[in-house]
Amino acid sequence: MEIYRWEGKGFRQLDPTRFEEERDFEDLLEQDPNLLLGDERICVISRQVPIGKSKKVDLLALDRQGNCIVIELKRGKASRAAISQLLEYAAAVAKFSFADIERFAGRWFQGQGREFTSLLALHSTFFGYELGAMRMSVFNQKQRMILVSEGVDVRVLDIAEYLRRAGIDLTYISYFSYQAPDELLIATKTILGSSSIKESRSTYQYAPRQFLTRERFLATLTKNRELHQVAQRFFDYAESCGAILRPRIAQIRMTIGGRWWMGSYPSKRANHFRIDAHGDFTPRQIAECRSNLSDVTPKKFGVSFNIMSPAHLEYAIEVFERTRNGILEE
């Protein structure tokens, strides 16, 4: 990648340069990591986090949902070993409790002479929401990984693409640095991934005018016996409440008392089914959902989440009862 600078009468090509040490680039990303994920802001909470004997995570950050982001920097091209290293680090971070994360953050901030009261306060201030809207149990439910290297190794890219297709939240970023007379320029390119992995609704598009019936819904989940049984109990519960199931393209919608109540569609990988629960939810109720359910997303109509286990359905029924009663009381 060539970078040119306009110098009054013409362009001059800038000479590429290299950081002498990986920590030199770490210094910059520590101060401002936002060139990594574009419009998505992330909050760096620690650096050189120990996860074992002589092993340390370059940078540890949090996203808006409280997921941990493991950032690994490589001076020069990343080797295939970098992928296994990153996976090892993410597996170790997955075991961190909220107290562990808060301890690392506190030590790092205080070591820099910066104010630190609590991780909850830091997160709410950084992302601009009311303190108390998110519980401790919401944090580190998911781990995201970012590999940053100088240039791209095709073999590494092949492995990264495979992992991302398998649902591993991995972003691969290439960077180059250039030295101008009075400034350092960094050019980055996202080679793979740019945001948190979410299963796209387009995955569930069926042939035109082919509606998603209850039978088709359950057939999608037959290879996951437990989830298939959970889905059957979900439909039995909805029908026992007097809900009317309305097959639609790509999803099933349920009404009660003449009002929309729920919508649902299955994962084609048979690892969950998605629920759109209609109703009014307070920030506290949304936080409670995030503590008990998977991939909770506030929506204009209410809240959306995944059902992956009998425990999820058991808690979700409490949510359904609250919204159902709200509809019937109106």
CATH classification at residue 14: 3.40.1350.10
Is the pTM higher than 0.75?
Answer: no
Which of 151, 175, 192 is the C-terminal boundary of a domain? 192
Q: Where are the beta strands (DSSP E) in the chain?
A: 4-6, 11-13, 15-17, 43-52, 55-62, 68-74, 143-150, 170-180, 183-192, 244-248, 251-256, 259-266, 273-278, 294-298, 302-307
Residue 36 and residue 164 in one domain: yes
Question: Is-contact 187 3, C-beta < 8 A?
Answer: yes
Residue 269 banded pLDDT, cuts 50, 70, 90? confident
Tokens of 222: 């037959």
Q: Give residue 202's Cα distance to chain centre.
A: 18
Clarify whether residues 39 and 8 are in a common domain: yes
Question: Which pLDDT score is estimated for 199?
Answer: 39
Residue 330 belongs to a domain? no
Strand, helix or coil for residue 102: helix
The whole-angstrom separation of Cα 84 and Cα 88 is: 6
The whole-number pLDDT of residue 240 equals 93
Q: Which domain holds residue 163?
A: 4-192
Report the length, in residues, of the chain. 330
Judgement on whether residues 29 and 52 belong to the same structural domain of the protein: yes
Confidence tier at 330 by pLDDT (50, 70, 90)? low
Position with higher pLDDT, 269 vs 18: 269
Query: What are the pLDDT digits (tens) for 173-204?
Result: 888 777 666 667 777 777 776 554 443 333 33
Where are the strands (E) in 96-250, listed by range? 143-150, 170-180, 183-192, 244-248
| Cβ(274)–Cβ(264) below 8 Å | yes
The structural domain count of the chain equals 2
